[in-house]
Homo-oligomer: A and B are copies of this chain.
């Protein structure tokens, strides 16, 4: 492999840059591998368990369980098994259909995602049953990752899953924010908003959390089953009033929220609640961690780097214009860093679907950027989801360079038309420029790279 040791090589090798992008992505993925993340956070030496900055004494002989939810659940549970060996008593983890791994003592319960289903409810009930009647010396690992909210649906008694979904849909349709939606959902759930931690009392809880949300807010990831909740029944009331939803709420939901408001139902546990004295929430992997691993690898490859942000959001094709503008600036003036350069960012952009094509936010990002860098030498744009799945496709993302638009035209592919049709998948597929990893069973959102040689 060639390498950039000169400050400015005369002819950047496009293959080097494309290979570098893929190589950097692989290293970033390795850093946020769920098993790797658990092993980094949890270390056992016989009876001494060290989790981040806290030590646990296992010599008193309590039982050890694993519960949890999310797409990374199988690999995280497997890693906890590896650490705890035969000290592990058992456990139940809700995972996405097909997202399994060999485990010995933990039961993996496959459930529906993104739409919650009865399999998810059954698994959640098993978890609740397992957490009932724990002792003070018992220890519960809770493994939480992306998709964990939909995969662990457990409405309070008297409300059906269908009614809970109706409420979510009503809130979505009236333009409620994700924080508003979560406030209501937590208050009609038995496990969300810190309630799982309450169910596990008086046992100790070690919650290992892999973040798939911008800002890494613990109370947001999977609706924070082990994290203090700051929202209240009063907030729910205000939200329902704000969007004038009262008349449209299922009767059981309205009755439950009213009962909560009247104080007949306990609030979700709040910050300072003693239940959290025995809970340790540990963020084991984040988008920024992936970006830092990407940065380390890019620098090892001889590239100058900056991390732009781990929280890029916004319409993907518009964010892409910022990338082509940066590519041109790096080329023409060496700002913000001179070539050979690698600009690293993460987060999760969005796509407003206007066409009937096939694609995802990462592939569409690269397609939009490909137009902006068309004709430029030594520029590569890469974007892929760390979960290996971009939109409803089998690709994680795509990669493009200054020749992409020309090569596509030779295949009869019209970038403008296909972008308008949200058909990025069929643009990159014939070019062999899809990035395909298969499901990675991790998810810390996306990685975007701009390489300028």
Contact = CB atoms under 8 A, between A and B. Distances in A.
Interface in A251-307: 288, 291, 306-307
B288 A336 contact: no
Contacts of A313: 321, 325
A314 B321 contact: yes
B336 A306 contact: yes
Given A215-B328, A328-B215, A347-B325, A335 B318 contact: no
Most B Cβ at <10 Å: residue of A307, A313, A320, A329: A329
A15 interface: no
Interface residues of A, number: 27
B307 A335 contact: yes
A328 B309 contact: yes
A335 B321 contact: no
B329 A308 contact: yes
Interface string A317-337: 011111001101100010110
Copies of the protein in its oligomer: 2
Given A215-B328, A306-B306, A322 B333 contact: no
Most B Cβ at <10 Å: residue of A214, A321, A333: A321
A310 B333 CA distance: 9
A245 to B, nearest CB: 18
Nearest to A286: B333
Given A319-B318, A321-B319, A322-B322, A335 B308 contact: yes
A315 interface: yes
Contacts of A319: 314, 318-319, 321-322
Contacts of A336: 306-308, 336
A359 B214 CA distance: 30
Nearest to A416: B175
Contacts of A321: 312-314, 319
A67 to B, nearest CB: 30
Contacts of A315: 315, 318
Contacts of A306: 306, 335-336
Interface string A206-241: 000000001100000000000000000000000000
B288 A309 contact: no
B307 A329 contact: yes
A124 to B, nearest CB: 33
Contacts of A309: 322, 325-326, 328-329, 335
A14 interface: no
22 contacts: A288-B333, A288-B335, A307-B336, A308-B326, A308-B335, A308-B336, A309-B322, A309-B325, A309-B328, A310-B329, A310-B333, A312-B321, A312-B322, A313-B321, A314-B319, A314-B322, A315-B315, A315-B318, A319-B319, A319-B321, A319-B322, A336-B336
Given A308-B322, A309-B322, A313-B325, 4 more contacts: A291-B335, A309-B326, A309-B328, A319-B322
